[in-house]
Amino acid sequence: MDATENNNNYPMRASIKQVIPFLLHPREIYLKIARQPRGSWFLPLLLISLTAILCLIAAGWLKQQSALSGELSLPPDFDYYTPEQQAQYFQATQATQGITFVYILPIIGSVFGIWIVWLFAGGTLHLITTLLGGRGETVVSMNVVAWAGLPLAIRNIVQLIYMLISHNLIISPGLSGFVTTNGSNWSIVLSSILGLIDIYLIWYVILLVIGVKVTTGLSAQKSIESVIITFVLITLLQVAVQFLITKIGDLSITQPFYF
């Protein structure tokens, strides 16, 4: 057994030094993932989770500062609320200024969402690529989805820097600012969908397509089809969760947990 064959028997050692090279030349990392079908998903998921936590800590600090100064960040569709709904919103806001509501619950929900969406996306992507004739393994699909999500960590860092510099919360993420919500179900759904779309999500999808093509042996067309189907299913899941939260609590999600 030569040295190359011996090295391929061991899992790829995920290192923080591989993050920048992956973002610049993703194919090289994907080739290693394809040759060594072992779990290398923990590092990218950890980076995404940690940056999301930092964002939520910054957002919580800004909310507390606004509460102390008497200022209050209102949802985009607040003007369409009835007087009773506006009063309920102010009461609910005052009741949720503690550490549990400002930090603990959002962080738990965000991290839980990141990992659940990763599991769902990885399993779905593997199923679809297999049906289309791909030869990859489940753990390889999980690795591909995790590494492809690194642009979302960059998005979290950009949002964190923006909040720290501007001292403003991100009220309308993605393209949701182009929609004026009036409280109707369709406006909430549309705002939720557009709120997930930005340059980092497009980058994520492109990396998924590259990863699928490299690790499964599928053609470019089938790789794109598998990613689109997976993307649509994940988006439906995210929008459904966000819609339920919005309807139940009359809340506006400012930190989508899309993965």
| Range in 48-52, 61-65, 124-128 the model is least confident about | 61-65
Give the model's pLDDT for residue 248.
55
- Collect all residues with Cβ–Cβ distance below 8 Å to 209 and sequence separation of at least 6: 220, 223, 224, 227
- Tens of pLDDT, residue by residue over 139-193, are 999 999 999 999 999 999 999 999 999 988 887 777 666 666 655 666 666 777 7
CA torsion angle 76 185 56 167 (round to 10): -10
Q: Could you tell me the residue ranges of all domains in the chain?
A: 26-249
Q: Residue 9 above 70 pLDDT?
A: no
pTM of the model: 0.80
* 146 against 90, higher pLDDT: 146
Q: Could you give the CA distance from residue 136 to residue 130 in angstroms, rounded to a whole number?
A: 7
Q: Could you give the CA distance from residue 93 to residue 68 in angstroms, rounded to a whole number?
A: 13
Q: Could you tell me the two tokens for 106?
A: 């959002």
Residue 218, number of CB atoms within 10 A of its CB:
21
Give the model's pLDDT for residue 140.
93
- Tens of pLDDT, residue by residue over 194-219, are 777 889 999 999 999 999 999 999 99
* 123 against 70, higher pLDDT: 123
At residue 197, φ and ψ (nearest 5 deg) are -95, 120
Give the model's pLDDT for residue 190.
73
The residue type of 98 is: G
The residue type of 214 is: V
Secondary structure (3-state) at 112: helix
